[in-house]
Every structure is written in structure tokens, then in C-alpha cells.
Amino acid sequence: MFDTRPDRDAEVVLVGRSNVGKSTLMREITGHSVSTGSKPGVTKKPNHFDWVSESFVVTDLPGFGFMSGVPEERREQIKTDVVRYVEANAEQILVGVLVVDGKSVVDIIDRHSGPDEIPHDVEMFHFLRELEIPTVVAVNKMDKVDDRDERLDALCDRLGLLPPWQQWQEVIAPISAKREQTEAFDEAVRHHLHEAKRDDLFKFF
């Protein structure tokens, strides 16, 4: 199911929990509709959108974490598949995008933090960085957040980044994908593409 990747040299991957807006952000990037739904877990296998001429692919990976009506065994398998996919393609991934829900991410992280538990979002953030994949955290649904700076500072704190969040603008990108407010994300991704000497891909962001 995860071996559908087109043979391309450069890739941007979207990872994150179910229902945080990955597919909506994918639609913003590509201009093409991908299946989105109000129920978590709509994306069951990777969605690839590629451009042969640029040898470039954007991949929306299935969401991990809680999904109503999906057995835990299946949820664990999806997470394992996502991790394996990222590991297998790390050399080609120019940017790893962790999409989170700005309104609930800090509460979810706190709820799942304990001596024997690392929250999925924190784990995935550090996993991408350990693989030396430039990482952008797209903090989505910010149009629903009132205490914006406090919320983003708290997220930085949970991810092990020293607040204030403003000093991490190539990492932390507050957006509202549904409202097409993705400028901070575009800037952050372009920063990493420039570092990779791929300014030719700016037109997609």
C-alpha cells in the first residue's frame, strides 16, 4: 500500500495526526482536490502528486493517532508504515511537514505525556530531525485560536524549542489551510528549498 511512490528525486511529505488538515494543505499546494472528510482517517494510503518535469513529488501520508472506528492494531500499523516510508525516502525528502491542529495540539501533547509515553506529535518531530530532514511544523486552524502567541510559545516548549516562537520561523508556521492563509508555511518551506539549492521549486509554494 505504501509502495506507490513515483520515482522522483525531490519530495515534500506531510505527516500528522488524523483530522488536522493535511489533505486540505495538500490541496492548497497542488491546486488539486484530494479526499478530505470531517471523519478522521479518510486518507488510508499515501496521496502522491508529482511533476515529472521537475522530478518532484508532494506526498500526503495517512494520519496517525486516534481514529474513530479504526482498531488500535490498524492505527499502530499505519504509524509504522508512515515511519518506514519516511525512513526509506529520507534522502529524497527536502522538507518534512508535521501538520498539527493549533487549537488542540498542546492539550493533546500534555494528555499523552508521561514517564512511559511520548506524544505522537513530539515523537514525529524529533524523528524527522534525527533523520536530518528539514522540518516545518504547520500549525493549522489558527483562525480558531485566540491566544495565538501563547499557544505557539507553548507548542515550542513542548517540542523542545526555546520560546518565543518568532525566532523559529523556518520551523513553526501558523496557518489556516481552509482559509488559504498559508504564507508562513510557504516562506518556511522556501527557506529549506533554498538551502537545498532547489529555488526552481518555489513556484509550488
Dist CA 31 CA 48 (whole Å): 13
Delineate the domains of the chain, giving CATH numbers in brackets: 10-204 (3.40.50.300)
Q: For residue range 149-202, list pLDDT tens digits in order.
A: 999 999 999 999 999 999 999 999 999 999 999 999 999 999 999 999 999 999
Q: For residue range 99-126, list pLDDT tens digits in order.
A: 999 999 999 999 988 888 889 999 999 9
Q: For residue range 23-77, list pLDDT tens digits in order.
A: 899 999 988 765 544 444 445 688 898 888 889 999 999 888 766 777 888 888 8
Residues 26 and 14 sit within 8 Å (Cβ to Cβ): yes
What is the pTM for the complete model shown? 0.93
Sign of the CA dihedral with 193 first, then 199, 191, and 139 last = negative
Dist CA 33 CA 111 (whole Å): 33
